[in-house]
Amino acid sequence: MKVSILGGGGFLGRKIAGKLAQDGALGGRKLTGLTLFDVVEPPKPAASFPVTALAGNVVDLPPAAIPADTDVVFHLAAVVSAAAEADYDLGRRVNVRGTDAVVDRCRTLGTRPQVVFTSSVASFSADQNTILPDNTRQIPGNSYGAQKAIAELILADASRRGFLDAVSIRLPTVVVRPGRPNKAASSFFSAIVREPLLGLETELPVPDDFAVWVCSPRRAVDWLLHAATLDTSQMGLDRSIDPPGISTTVAHLLQALDQVSPGASAHVKRVADQTIYAIVSTWPPAFEALHARTLGFSAHEPVLDVIRAFIEDDLEATKADRAR
């Protein structure tokens, strides 16, 4: 089985690559090739099968990014939420035209690869007291969410036409992201756990009782790998999945942080930010996620485990990165 990861240098892309390299197989089939593609050449994990890394822009997708005989494409390449809001043209180019480029490459291949796409909870809008059913209409409150909803439509139509076989996973806010704060409006949800664990101060732009739909990196990777070998004949025209994340609050995250590292939450400073709030307050804090359970997407672990997993998986590498 041959796999390509577009956005293979991002934190989820690297984790998926690492897991594939470690397992040597996907869905019970042996891996025979892995291609990693990103704007900067992604690092290659040690593996028992050939791994290729290349750099480029997803809009001008080089054919080598999805070689012939590719079975699975993880399409994670994206401009994140606050960046897409700040630069309309950039967001449209990467998030929409980039998806068109993936469709066009798959169409040329003629072998109907399975395409796993990371859509987002940001493609919905709802207030803080809503639980969204699976068939909810996407009315995005930000350009990133609009572009993700558009990409879902593009991929569902391309699936119907037989160009590819898409599964779009509407990822919750991923907590705890390793690395540094980024331009995602949701960046602070990870920072309020990660930075205190590094002994660093960080800012909280929303109230403590702010509710958010989250998932851990471990869970996100597990879902994306499950989507890669899912039998899509169970899905029909609708190729989009609300995965079973968990609904939590800032207060709950900080409480769990203090339980793992007593007093750590003292590093979190309350500094209201209306720009950030305007974006994240339109994201629904909870989903029913019934269809995902039927399709075998794994259930989520509690918040405490999420923080412990960050310490186990990513804290040392994050420390080393900051020391550089």
Q: Are 260 and 304 in contact (CB under 8 A)?
A: yes
88 is catalytic: no
254-283 residues in contact with a copy of itself (CB under 8 A) are none
Determine which helix (DSSP H) or strand (DSSP E) holds 148, and give its type and residue range. helix 143-160
β-pair type (29-30, 173-174): unpaired
From the list 156, 215, 225, 257, which residue makes contact with a copy of itself (rule: CB under 8 A)? Answer: 156
* 45: its two tokens: 């994990």
CB nearer a copy of itself, residue 118 or residue 123: 123
Q: How far apart are CA 28 and CA 153, in angstroms?
A: 30
Q: How far apart are CA 148 and CA 307, in angstroms?
A: 28
Q: Amino acid identity of 220?
A: A
69-88 residues in contact with a copy of itself (CB under 8 A) are 88
Binding track over 94-133 against a copy of itself, x by CB under 8 A: ------x------------------------x--------
238 contributes a contact to a copy of itself by CB under 8 A: yes
Q: How far apart are CA 212 and CA 209, in angstroms?
A: 10
Shortest distance, position 298 Cβ to a copy of itself, whole Å? 25
Considering CB under 8 A, how many residues would be counted as binding a copy of itself?
A: 23
Catalytic residue among 37, 74, 144, 287: 144
Q: How far is the CA of 235 from the CAs of 72, 114, 226, 266, 289, in angstroms? A: 17, 13, 14, 46, 14
Q: How many CB atoms lie under 10 A from the CB of residue 88?
A: 11
From the list 12, 101, 146, 250, which residue makes contact with a copy of itself (rule: CB under 8 A)? Answer: 146
137 contributes a contact to a copy of itself by CB under 8 A: yes
Look up residue 41 and give its DSSP letter.
Answer: P
CB nearer a copy of itself, residue 177 or residue 239: 239
Shortest distance, position 142 Cβ to a copy of itself, whole Å? 8
Tell me the residue length of the chain. 324
CB nearer a copy of itself, residue 146 or residue 221: 146
Catalytic positions, written as ranges: 144
Residues that bind a copy of itself (CB under 8 A): 88, 92, 100, 125, 135-141, 143, 146, 149-150, 153-154, 156-157, 160-161, 237-238
